Amino acid sequence: MDPIYQALVDIAGEEYVSNRPEELYIYSFDLGTAEPCRPHYVISTRTTEHIQNIVRLANKENIPVVPLGGGLSLAGLAVPLKGGILLDLKRMDSIIEVNEKARYAVLECGVSQGQLTAYLERHHPHLTHSEPGAPPSATIVGNAVIHGQGDLAQPYGFNSDLVNGLEVVLPTGEVCHFGSVAIGAGWFTNHPLPDMGLFLGWCGATGIITKVSIRLFPAKKIRGVGTFVVEDEELIPEIIYKLTHTQMAEDIIAFSRAIPPFASGLQHVTVNIAADSDKELEFKQEIIWDDTLGEYIRKGDGGYLGFVRSLERPQISKTSDYKKGGGFEYVGSIMPIDRYPECYRKGREISERHGIPYTVTGRCIGAGHNMMFAWTYAFNRADPATIEQAREALHETDDLVLELGGVIWKPGTYGQKLLLERLDPGTRELMRKVKKLLDPNGIMNPGNWEVD
């Protein structure tokens, strides 16, 4: 009997541990273009204690540990690049607490965004969370770890900015708490204790987040989305600037795509509006569509495509089926909004050069402080040539992000390399020291954010 396998079975039980080819195969893949790498073991954990025992075992056996949430980053961030123990965290899916008045939820790391949405709708209809555009199986913790953004990004910013506190298992097995909970005062704030931002953005290379407190927000009775369209991409930064000035939108997204062909080249701006009454909705609509965007309509630069009085959950996975190919990946970036026109034009060029229908999207974060701009490349999973094509386009786009003065969002290994090459030497050295201090044996998700 393999002693590591047996030790894992002792930790989580036989049904939740595997070293069989079927599980090793499935967990070797990211859903994007990343090359598969097989883990040696897969384990589905239920408790923080399980995770403590696993990292202690991994240190003893000097074997990597790769934590996996929803597995939807598409950037290969949870591919076990150097094998080891793949830790599926989705069974840790308890919603521990929702504090209605202080508007936060304490969740285990496997809680999916769909689960939280449903729970709030059912038990706390006055509350909502900033729901990412990812499929509902994406986990709340996973999204915060990659500095994701949701449909309340315009007023409230990145989802990682909404974290009130964390419970983390360190690579050496100790459990730490951050935020007010660290002094036993509950999970209501991440401030004002000394900053311990050691875990968000690190792809699990510095520890495994087991619990999170995430801020919730008022859920208005009416939520809907209006769409505005212009032909000239140069107008988009100005439009977003004006829209954010109103402080009346929940979400602002600009996008353009090659499919359907009649809309190719047009720039669509969707604006989510929420209200508690028809009166409030009417007022907001008037301010946004008439007072703010009316001038573009009057000048013949743009058109209002109407308002849909409901919020459909985005079905981003449909992108994978554009060419009946089952795959897509995108490069995300955090970018100044004034770069939108260049992002669109150059991204379109890359897509067309690779024969891929272009799709570009920019989501406004904060009051126009920046945007998450994404270039999406579909591929056919059954055709290795198209996967390679998409991979090349993705790498070119990673380069483009830096050329345009942006930062690659949730970079894969190629993007991480580009960023580390440009990183301030002092910061690089600090990262190296932090990693060495927290993870002396280098067991945590090796291959990611490796400074040395």
Partner 1 sequence: MSLAAFKYADLIHRCFRCGYCKFPDNWTDVNNCPPYARFRMESYSCGGRLWLTRAWLNDQIDWTEHLAEILYSCTTCKNCVIKCPLRFNVDIVNMIVAARGEMVEAGKVPLAVKRFLENVELYGNPYGESKAKRGQWAEGTGIEQYHRQEYLYYVGCAGSYDARAQEAARALAMVMMKAGISFGILGSEETCDGNEVHQLGEMGLFEMLAGNNTSTFNDLGIQKIITFSPHAYNAMKNSYNQYGRNFQVFHYTQLLCGLAEAGKINTSKGFHARVTFHDPCFLGRWNDEYEAPRSVLNAIKGIELIEMNKNREGALCCGGGGGNFQIDLLGGSESSPARRRVREAYETGADILVVACPKCLVMLNEAVESEGMKEKLVVMDISEVMVKACAL
Binding residues for partner 1 (CB under 8 A): 15-16, 18, 20-23, 25-27, 29, 31, 42, 44, 70-72, 88, 90-91, 93, 112, 114-115, 117-119, 121-122, 135-137, 315-318, 320-321, 324-328, 380-382
Distance from the Cα of residue 400 to its chain's centroid: 20
Nearest to 273 by CA among 220, 224, 216: 224
Nearer to partner 1, 91 or 369 (CB): 91
With contact defined as beta carbons under 8 Å apart, do 178 and 165 qualify? yes
Nearer to partner 1, 135 or 265 (CB): 135
Distance CA 181, CA 213 (A): 9
The per-residue DSSP string of 366-402 comes to TTTTEEEEEEEEEEETT-HHHHHHHHHHHHHHHHHHH
Nearer to partner 1, 57 or 134 (CB): 134
Helix axes 3-12, 48-61, angle to 10 degrees: 170
With contact defined as beta carbons under 8 Å apart, do 8 and 17 qualify? yes
Nearer to partner 1, 214 or 230 (CB): 214
Nearest to 443 by CA among 76, 59, 49, 80: 59
Task: Tell me how far, at minimum, the Cβ of 25 lies from partner 1, in Å.
Answer: 5
Nearer to partner 1, 148 or 368 (CB): 148
- Residue 35 per-residue DSSP state: P
As beta bridge partners, residue 95 has 107
Task: Tell me how far, at minimum, the Cβ of 408 lies from partner 1, in Å.
Answer: 23
Nearer to partner 1, 388 or 403 (CB): 388
Distance CA 155, CA 354 (A): 37
Task: Tell me how far, at minimum, the Cβ of 322 lies from partner 1, in Å.
Answer: 11
Distance CA 107, CA 423 (A): 33
Task: Tell me how far, at minimum, the Cβ of 40 lies from partner 1, in Å.
Answer: 15
Nearer to partner 1, 42 or 334 (CB): 42
Task: Tell me how far, at minimum, the Cβ of 354 lies from partner 1, in Å.
Answer: 20
Task: Tell me how far, at minimum, the Cβ of 119 lies from partner 1, in Å.
Answer: 8
Task: Tell me how far, at minimum, the Cβ of 380 lies from partner 1, in Å.
Answer: 7
Nearest to 237 by CA among 120, 137, 362, 377: 362
Nearer to partner 1, 22 or 424 (CB): 22
The per-residue DSSP string of 83-141 comes to --EEEE-TT---EEEEETTTTEEEEETT-BHHHHHHHHHHH-TTEE---BSS-TTSBHH
Q: What amino acid is encoded at 344 in this protein?
A: Y
Contacts of 374 by beta carbon, 8 Å cutoff, 6+ apart: 330, 331, 332, 333, 360, 361, 362, 409
Nearer to partner 1, 299 or 324 (CB): 324
The per-residue DSSP string of 17-30 comes to EE-SHHHHHHTT--
With contact defined as beta carbons under 8 Å apart, do 204 and 230 qualify? no
Task: Tell me how far, at minimum, the Cβ of 302 lies from partner 1, in Å.
Answer: 30
Task: Tell me how far, at minimum, the Cβ of 319 lies from partner 1, in Å.
Answer: 9
Task: Tell me how far, at minimum, the Cβ of 22 lies from partner 1, in Å.
Answer: 5
- Residue 170 per-residue DSSP state: -
Beta strands 85-88 and 41-44 are: parallel
Task: Tell me how far, at minimum, the Cβ of 447 lies from partner 1, in Å.
Answer: 20
Lookup: tokens for 107: 């969740």
Nearer to partner 1, 120 or 209 (CB): 120
Nearest to 113 by CA among 80, 72, 156: 72
Nearer to partner 1, 29 or 307 (CB): 29
